Amino acid sequence: MTELSFPAYPGPKLEAYVSRLLDEAGVPSFLWGESVLAILRVPTADFFSGWVVPDDCIEKASRALDEAKFPPCTLGERCSLFWHHRTHPIPDHHYHTDLEYSETPPHMSCGVFLYKKSRLFWSFPDPPIGRPSPNDPYYVLTSDTRLREGGLTTRGRSQPGDYPVKMPIPARYLEAMILLELRDLVGKVTSAHWKVEINYLADFVLRKENNPALSFEDIAEPFREFVRQRYIDVIYVPGELPDTDFGDKYLHQLYVTLKSNGQLPPLEPTPYDNYIPLELRLQKYDIPFDPKLIDRSPEE
């Protein structure tokens, strides 16, 4: 395998190298975060190269990158990545592949970040090692021809000659971001990250007639109804506010339903933002709820 030199930044070359290292180590993996959005032609920066692996493979994945001499973090808790206002979820392991070691937030390394699957994509099956099948309902290659090529200001799909890199099917990815928004609906700072990703997917992928990567019909219920209320059925009249709550009541109803059914995991120990208490929001919408459903993390 051709070794990668550092500094190295998020993009096809780094992704192909990480994917190959993890495959050869027997670690199933897939890409997530702004890199996925960029591949879907969202005009966003790649803030980091984020990788999801099964929980029981997280240490194995870290060892594979250690053995490949990926630059580790040397700052410990002084690393600006751990800034308590950080809306990006903190990784389980990270590497400063850009050779930037900042202690001053909000700047952070745009390196390689490893995450346990249960933290972000708990409803997903483990990905295969190597190429997914052509009809895999959850995973697709970043070079798949169902994804569009890049443009002047957008990245687009990877080249077919690169080592295979997996990412979620766009509809499954959107559904996962909605689940994360629901998990953190109580008012976590990370809520902002999920909202941004959902908005980007809606504005630059779902609503673009020339971007076939994601259509409304691809989205499974109950998430499709939320997308319909927030993005599809909104009528804008110049000089007037839209007569809609943008699916907010439905989102809160969905929270109670999924939480009651055990489909939302406990909160992560991340800080809270200045949100109206969830109890008051549910009361405003006259949504019955069991107060025991609204869990609190130690950071409250």
Which sequence spans correspond to the domains of the chain? Answer: 12-168, 172-293
The gap from C-alpha 129 to its chain's centroid, in whole angstroms, comes to 20
Q: For the domain made up of 12-168, give the CATH fold.
A: Beta Polymerase; domain 2 (3.30.460)
- pTM score, whole prediction: 0.95
Q: Determine the Cα–Cα distance for residues 163 and 145; give it in Å rounded to an integer.
A: 15
pLDDT of 296 over the 80 cut: no
Identify residue 224 by its one-letter amino acid code. Answer: R
Per-residue pLDDT tens over the stretch 81-135: 999 899 999 999 999 999 999 999 999 999 999 999 999 999 999 999 999 999 9
Q: Which has the closest alpha carbon to 188: 88, 261, 110?
A: 88
User: Quick one: tokens of 57?
Assistant: 């493979």
**β pairing state of 93-95 and 49-53:** unpaired
Rounded average pLDDT over 46-57: 97
d(CA 157, CA 141): 9
Q: pLDDT by residue (tens digit) across 178-230?
A: 999 999 999 999 999 999 999 999 999 998 867 889 999 999 999 999 999 99
pLDDT in tens, 195-204: 999 999 999 9
Is pLDDT above 80 for 280? yes
Q: Which two three-digit tokens encode residue 77?
A: 């808790």
CA distances from residue 228 to 127, 244, 272 in whole angstroms, order as listed? 29, 12, 28
Q: Residue 281 CB: number of other CB atoms within 10 A?
A: 19
pLDDT band at 2 (very low <50, low <70, confident <90, very high): low
